[in-house]
Amino acid sequence: MHPLHGKVALITGASSGIGRATALRLASFGVRVVLASRTAQALEEVVQQIKTFGVEALAVPTDVTDREQCRQAVETTVAHFGRLDILLCSAGVSLRGMFADTVPAVLEHIMRVNFFGTLYPTYFAVPHVKRSRGSLVAISSLTGKRGTPSYAIYGASKFAVRGLYDSLRLELASDGVHVGVVSPGFVDTPLRERVLDATGQPWLSPPAPPFRIWPLEKCVDRVVRVVVKRKSQALLPGFVGPLLALDEITGGRLGDWYLGSKFDPAAVTKMTAQQASGCQPPKTSSGG
């Protein structure tokens, strides 16, 4: 029997991408799953898939930027199943654009979804996860580990998530609560086709990433391992860890040079102008 069998997990962003795939993986282990996202119909489709594993699942339509809806999602989980063992905060939105060109309302939207959309469910889940000595896990990003051109606000939201969870790991250690952060690079999810530009509109043609796009299941492997092994963090790809350490040793000069060439600010500015004119940005290696 899998070590997570019989546990109860609440997953935000569960209608697609990493959240959906993780929900299905956990259900295959016998985990009872509560699915939260804004799209009720998509959630019900996932519920039906989970039922094929003979596991109970519950859909709770939730806007993670709404504090009260997050509270209700947590309370509904506990009322229905009597406990909460795992919270996975996977809801998020991506933005690729130069900070100075980005509309202030869009800056705020990214923070509301990515940071407050993690903070709110976590806040309400903490008392219940304390009782179960369970896990709080957040999906961050490699841009939350190292500043990257054209990802200033997206990266800032992910840095904030990591800062929150790093502190919670220390605050909740004496309560037996596991706190972990998964920081992937580019992952093959629907989010890649909905990357926002500086005006908050999806790119007409999402900029091509300069690095490998990792299979979704690889990211799910990392999430599951973090929960089962109660690890504090996981990176995808794993070899980025030593590179980040080397970057630190060089005072950031190595990363500045490498990321500046891979995410050329001038190329992003040019693509943004083409996007604004309604032209299809070219597929170049400078995207992400």
* Residues with active-site annotation: 154
Rounded alpha-carbon distances, angstroms, from residue 279 to 35, 270, 275: 38, 11, 6
Distance CA 37, CA 15 (A): 6
Rounded alpha-carbon distances, angstroms, from residue 246 to 36, 75, 209, 243: 39, 44, 23, 5
Alpha helix positions (H), 133-231: 152-171, 216-228
Helix-then-strand count for the chain, H and E: 10, 7
Determine the residue type at 209: P
Alpha helix positions (H), 30-116: 40-51, 67-81, 104-111
> Count of residues for the chain?
288
Distance CA 60, CA 74 (A): 9
What are the beta bridge partners of residue 34? Answer: 10, 58
For 227, phi then psi, to 5°, come to -70, -50
What are the beta bridge partners of residue 117? Answer: none
Q: Would you put residue 180 in left (φ > 0), alpha (ψ -120 to 50) or beta?
A: beta
Q: Are the beta carbons of 183 and 236 closer than 8 angstroms? A: yes
In the sheet with 8-12, reading across from the earlier edge strand, the strands are: 57-61, 32-37, 8-12, 86-89, 135-139, 178-184, 233-236
